[in-house]
């Protein structure tokens, strides 16, 4: 008899993954928790530990393969004589996303037969608390038993009940999509190269289509005088570097955005069409778009409002390094409430960013350039002087906020960035 390890539902809309490396071979003995696979999901590389202790009977995938959720990947001996591969209930690997509580959990009715799907950390917790996972009703995505389920069962002796699905107005909006026309044979005009459209590029495309088709985008733009802020940054960048960080404009932008989000919380929300409600988040987790060799990735820094400029400069620098080396975890890509994208590092000017669905706004910055500006002097006269001016754009969901709201929001951000003292004084 044998059991197959299948690609589990990793949450966050992940339906497939590319196999980066296979760390086991047929005939090899492994223990539960041993590394067996490296896979690449939407925007993250993930290490997959073995869900079983035993012998590897057959490896069904190789590096470069694209596997879909539910596909068998490795067959394990499960005691007794090994016969034809028989797929068992999927066992989920230890990825942070699997244990993340979903906003709208999909409960699975009744008990699960066979091995209850749970991450290794959850299994260890169950052993420590003396809980039989087979007796726990899962509330996680795809029927996953979560750590919360185990703790609740241990405390009460019975399962927690997942919230019922929201009823009311359906979230589905009729879509008038037009099929893509058949492409011509480009090779008839010259040499071509075909590259796989997968991984980050494909995930980005899917997210962009979702955002653009679901959200009525409106853009508000302005310029901000960062002359004083740049002087402040130059003054303190070496001490931040010595502490292991990097004092960039994005760090200041995150603090300014967090202040504006507290003053105008509707920009820190999501629209729940199914419930006909606007979900306003009371936490401030800001995603930062990072340009990598593999495409755009948006890691999330949590509780930005509670952290100092120094703390953010260090955390952001380390996060960007992990992201570009593909060592960022799935949990670091989730839970964002607002996004910042800075095209200025590459010399970009004004542009129109696409909102990171299901958020309702994104703040973008261009390259600061020295330009002539009319400045009010102490004696009441205006003089034309050189100032460092930077483009700033705010793209927002017009269903949730209006143009007047965006102007007020931008004013808070601009005033904070124009004057370092104002930035420090406005932090709430």
Q: pLDDT tens across 307-358, in order?
A: 999 999 999 999 999 999 888 888 899 999 999 999 987 878 888 899 999 9
How open is the CA angle 274-286-412, to the nearest 5 degrees? 100
Q: Say how many C-beta atoms besides its own lie within 10 A of residue 244's C-beta.
A: 11
Mean pLDDT for the chain overall: 81
Report the chain's terminal Cα–Cα distance, integer Å. Answer: 61
User: What is the pLDDT at residue 422?
Assistant: 81
**E strand or H helix at 69, and its extent?**
none
Catalytic residue among 15, 236, 367, 398: 398
Q: What is the pLDDT of residue 100?
A: 39
Pairing of strands 338-342, 286-288: parallel
pLDDT tens, position by position, 406-424: 999 999 999 999 988 888 8
Q: What percent of the chain stands above pLDDT 70? A: 80
Which range has the worst mean pLDDT, 104-113, 156-165, 333-342?
104-113
Lowest mean pLDDT among 30-34, 80-84, 220-224, 410-414: 80-84
Q: 359: which 2 tokens? A: 């958020």
Burial class (CB in 10 A: 0-12, 13-18, 19+), 297: buried
Q: Which of 98-107, 132-141, 315-324, 326-335 holds the top average pLDDT?
A: 315-324
What is the pLDDT at residue 102? Answer: 35
pLDDT at 112: 34
Per-residue pLDDT at 99: 36
Q: Where do the domains of the chain lie, and which CATH numbers do they carry?
A: 1-95 (2.40.50.100), 200-426 (3.30.559.10)
Q: Is 23 a catalytic residue?
A: no
Question: How confident is the model at residue 125, as a pLDDT?
Answer: 73
Check residue 143 and give its pLDDT: 66
Phi, psi of 30 (to 5 degrees): -130, 160
What pLDDT digit, counting tens, does each position of 284-303 carry? 999 999 998 878 899 999 99
Question: Which tens digit of pLDDT belongs to each residue from 1-12?
Answer: 678 888 877 665
Q: What is the DSSP string of 310-341?
A: HHHHHHHHHHHHHHHTT---GGGGS--SEEEE
Predicted confidence at residue 131, as pLDDT, reads 79
**pTM recorded for the entire structure:** 0.63
Tokens 């706004």 correspond to what residue? Answer: 361
- Mean per-residue pLDDT for 123-141? 74
168, pLDDT greater than 80: no
User: What number is the average pLDDT over the span 223-252?
Assistant: 95
Rounded to whole angstroms, the Cα distance separating 261 from 338 reads 9
Of 254, 260, 221, nearest to 349 by C-alpha is 221
Rounded to an integer, the average pLDDT of 238-245 is 96
Beta strands, E only, 71-135: 72-77
Residue 43 scores a pLDDT above 70: no
Q: What CA–CA distance (Å, rounded) separates 223 from 194?
A: 41
Q: Which two tokens stand for residue 207?
A: 């997210």
The answer to whether 194 touches 186, Cβ cutoff 8 Å, is no
Q: Each residue of 174-210: pLDDT tens digit?
A: 444 567 788 888 999 999 888 887 777 777 888 888 8
Helices (H), 120-189: 120-129, 147-156
pLDDT given for residue 191 in this prediction: 92
């Amino acid at each position: 008899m044998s059991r197959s390890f299948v690609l589990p539902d990793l949450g966050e809309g992940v339906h497939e993954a590319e196999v980066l490396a296979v760390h086991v071979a047929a005939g090899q003995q492994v223990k539960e928790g041993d590394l067996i696979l490296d896979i690449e999901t939407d925007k993250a590389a993930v290490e997959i530990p073995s869900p079983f202790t035993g012998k590897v009977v057959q490896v069904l995938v190789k590096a470069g393969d694209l596997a879909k959720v539910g596909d068998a990947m490795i067959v394990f001996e499960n005691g007794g004589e090994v016969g034809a591969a028989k797929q068992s209930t999927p066992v989920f690997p230890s990825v942070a996303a699997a244990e993340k509580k979903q906003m709208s959990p999909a409960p699975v009715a009744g008990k699960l037969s066979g091995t209850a799907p749970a991450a290794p950390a959850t299994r260890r917790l169950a052993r420590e608390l003396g809980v039989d996972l087979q007796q726990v009703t899962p509330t996680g995505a795809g029927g996953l038993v979560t750590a919360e389920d185990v703790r609740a069962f241990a405390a009460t002796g019975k399962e927690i009940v997942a919230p019922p699905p929201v009823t009311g107005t359906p979230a589905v909006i009729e879509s008038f999509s037009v099929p893509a026309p058949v492409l011509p044979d480009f090779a008839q005009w010259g040499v071509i190269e075909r590259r796989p459209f997968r991984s980050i590029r494909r995930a980005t495309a899917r997210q962009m289509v979702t955002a653009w088709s679901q959200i009525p985008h409106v853009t508000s733009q302005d310029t901000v005088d960062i002359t004083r802020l740049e002087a402040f940054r130059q003054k303190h960048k070496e001490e931040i570097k010595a502490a292991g960080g990097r004092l960039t404009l994005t760090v200041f932008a995150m603090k300014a955005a967090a202040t504006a989000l507290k003053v105008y919380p509707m920009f820190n929300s999501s629209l729940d069409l199914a419930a006909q409600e606007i979900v306003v988040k009371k936490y401030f987790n800001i995603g930062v778009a990072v340009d990598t060799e593999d495409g755009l990735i948006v890691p999330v820094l949590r509780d930005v409002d509670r952290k100092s400029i120094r703390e953010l400069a260090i955390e952001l620098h380390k996060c960007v390094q992990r992201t570009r080396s593909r060592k960022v975890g799935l949990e670091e890509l989730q839970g964002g409430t607002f996004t910042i994208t800075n095209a200025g590092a590459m010399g970009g000017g004004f542009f129109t960013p696409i909102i990171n669905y299901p958020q309702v706004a994104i703040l973008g910055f261009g390259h600061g350039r020295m330009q002539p500006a009319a400045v009010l002097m102490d004696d009441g006269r205006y003089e034309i002087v050189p100032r460092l001016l930077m483009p700033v754009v705010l793209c927002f969901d017009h269903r949730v906020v209006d143009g007047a709201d965006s102007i007020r929001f931008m004013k808070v951000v601009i005033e904070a960035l124009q004057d370092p003292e104002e930035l420090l004084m406005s932090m709430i």
